[in-house]
Structure 1
């Protein structure tokens, strides 16, 4: 892509984000002080490269997913927020105490204008102190565990067999405060031990969400399919791999019609990710600045 094509594409995306209407070549030519013929030629080139499309014969052009992605990536690294804003955010979060994480997503959502999600998990899984196992249905076992630190979690284990009461009792006894991998007496017991280990391997994840109602003001919300997809991503993110601490990630259209701006978080005992969710027409520059700044403030940077 040439520098002139880049300027045309980015102006086209800017205009489309603001108006959600196809952008005419005349508008681009006037704003960039180029001849209409030159802009039309470059638009044809950009269309052939897959960055824009023309929805109707007589209309202007709109960005494709590739066009949005090229534009979004050009906003990295994020522009910093004013130092006075950063200082105020640090002061607010420092005084939040146990509400620190909930307040973080509230501030992220308010500053960006988009729904915010925060996911955290321990760097190391806490040790399993005790577990109680009981059959639910054939091949399904309920495991209730007491973890180091006194946290109680439960999980449903899917097995290829239905354990007997004697097998469940043996597993409970041998898993009690066990610090080392267990040697199983039978393949069935090995499957049971491994299922328990997998269920509690990541410790206790934490999730915080705020601002889903903000998407209702977006024109895309008139499409029920968009809302269903957005709610699905908001309530149950499908990817469990976090952005590296201090890093940024932009996921443009990986879920149909949805974009995510993500900031990796790393603390002494936890890692996580702050995400902002929006349509493809997301204000990427603003979202990146907010997510990055809040991630840094949360980590004490």
Structure 2
């Protein structure tokens, strides 16, 4: 539905004022702030039309008006003026250099910085990699008890206890580890599983069972250690007035953080879109609350989109500041995780 220029100006003024102060905006304030040469009666008529069309609403306790989700949508899609943000300033704070840590540490830094810069919650959907290993070792602990040690390509070390039906000797354990390391180094556990099925005849029968057990346990260990969603700054939302006095809303919000299913679905959907995406509560079925918004952007590794990052906050957030922060962080994270 198209709006005339005067109505758009008044809607933009109302949303900006409401975001800044959090109070319903009256006709007198709109007349002064919009700088339109309109009579109070004309402004009231235009606002009444905007309310009838669903862009603003009138709280029963005030003569002023506040934006609805539909009003916010028009604002962010057509009326918003994004404020410039220094990319160098964000880059110096983010510490996304690959020399400073492993990929998961870089992703965690990105979530922390999104939270710090916006004072809301920062979230990153991690890249979905097939679990793989660089090296494994078997350590005999006692009869039929073996410690499986897995070193991942990122340098992480995971341990799993294996209870076996056979009491393997140290030489047998070395033979099994050497075979796996020499034949399957760098492959995903799923690839190894498929190859083992066709190569079992070449392997000593006692050791083949041990290898199969080790591959299953290693796959589980590496998968369990990966964080699908990294969230930082959830407690910032306890200080947001829009949430602080509504225990029901806070419970929904933190349920989403704890369960992560809905959050992962939203981030997965946004990773399939291009550029910045803005989800506004009340219009998006992916959000559990009407007064909540999420600003997201996909990030890449070597030109391929592998995940999404974003900021979770109230619908009454300063979109003009949050959007460039999310956009720049996505670009910096893409650069940090990519290899020349």
| TM-score in terms of structure 2 length | 0.63
Tell me the residue number matched to 2:114.
108
Q: Say if 1:13 and 1:77 are closer, same or farther in 2 by CA, change over 3 A.
A: closer
SS in 1 for 2:54: coil
Alignment of 1:64-143 (within 5 A): 64-74=68-78, 79-89=83-93, 92-94=95-97, 95-98=99-102, 99-122=105-128, 125-126=130-131
Q: Say if 1:147 and 1:41 are closer, same or farther in 2 by CA, change over 3 A.
A: farther
Q: Say if 1:70 and 1:96 are closer, same or farther in 2 by CA, change over 3 A.
A: farther
- Within the candidate set 234, 256, 259, 1:233 is matched to 256
SS in 2 for 1:29: helix
SS in 2 for 1:81: coil
Alignment of 1:171-210 (within 5 A): 177-179=192-194, 206-210=228-232
Is 1:4 equivalent to 2:6 in the alignment? Answer: yes
Is 1:222 equivalent to 2:245 in the alignment? Answer: yes
Q: How far is the alpha carbon of 1:85 from its aligned partner?
A: 1.8
From the two aligned structures, give the one with the greater strand fraction: 1
Is 1:51 equivalent to 2:55 in the alignment? Answer: yes
- Structure 1 CA distance for aligned equivalents of residues 318 and 276 of structure 2: 15
Contact 1:245 1:271 in 2 (8 A): no
Q: Say if 1:115 and 1:87 are closer, same or farther in 2 by CA, change over 3 A.
A: closer
Tell me the residue number matched to 2:296.
262
Q: How far is the alpha carbon of 1:61 from its aligned partner?
A: 0.7
Q: How far is the alpha carbon of 1:58 from its aligned partner?
A: 5.3
Number of residue pairs the alignment of both structures matches: 251
Q: How far is the alpha carbon of 1:35 from its aligned partner?
A: 2.1
Q: How far is the alpha carbon of 1:177 from its aligned partner?
A: 3.6
Give per-residue Cα distances to partners, 1:153-187, cap 9 Å, x unaligned: 9xxxxxxxxxxxxxxxxxxxxx894449x9xxxxx
Q: Which runs of 5+ in 1 are unaligned?
A: 129-145, 154-174, 183-195
Alignment of 1:282-301 (within 5 A): 282-300=317-335
Contact 1:262 1:274 in 2 (8 A): yes
Contact 1:13 1:68 in 2 (8 A): yes
Q: Which runs of 5+ in 2 are unaligned?
A: 134-149, 160-189, 198-215, 282-286
Is 1:271 equivalent to 2:277 in the alignment? Answer: no
SS in 2 for 1:255: coil
From the two aligned structures, give the one with the greater helix fraction: 2
- Within the candidate set 20, 32, 46, 1:42 is matched to 46
Tell me the residue number matched to 2:316.
281
Q: How far is the alpha carbon of 1:234 from its aligned partner?
A: 2.9
SS in 2 for 1:121: coil
- Structure 2 CA distance for aligned equivalents of residues 233 and 54 of structure 1: 30
| TM-score in terms of structure 1 length | 0.70
The structure number with the bigger radius of gyration is 2
Tell me the residue number matched to 2:184.
none
- Structure 1 CA distance for aligned equivalents of residues 24 and 239 of structure 2: 20
Q: How far is the alpha carbon of 1:213 from its aligned partner?
A: 1.3
- Structure 2 CA distance for aligned equivalents of residues 45 and 228 of structure 1: 36
Output the aligned Cα RMSD. 3.8
- Structure 2 CA distance for aligned equivalents of residues 40 and 46 of structure 1: 10
- Structure 2 CA distance for aligned equivalents of residues 3 and 255 of structure 1: 33
Q: How far is the alpha carbon of 1:65 from its aligned partner?
A: 1.1
- Structure 1 CA distance for aligned equivalents of residues 324 and 191 of structure 2: 47
Q: Say if 1:151 and 1:3 are closer, same or farther in 2 by CA, change over 3 A.
A: farther
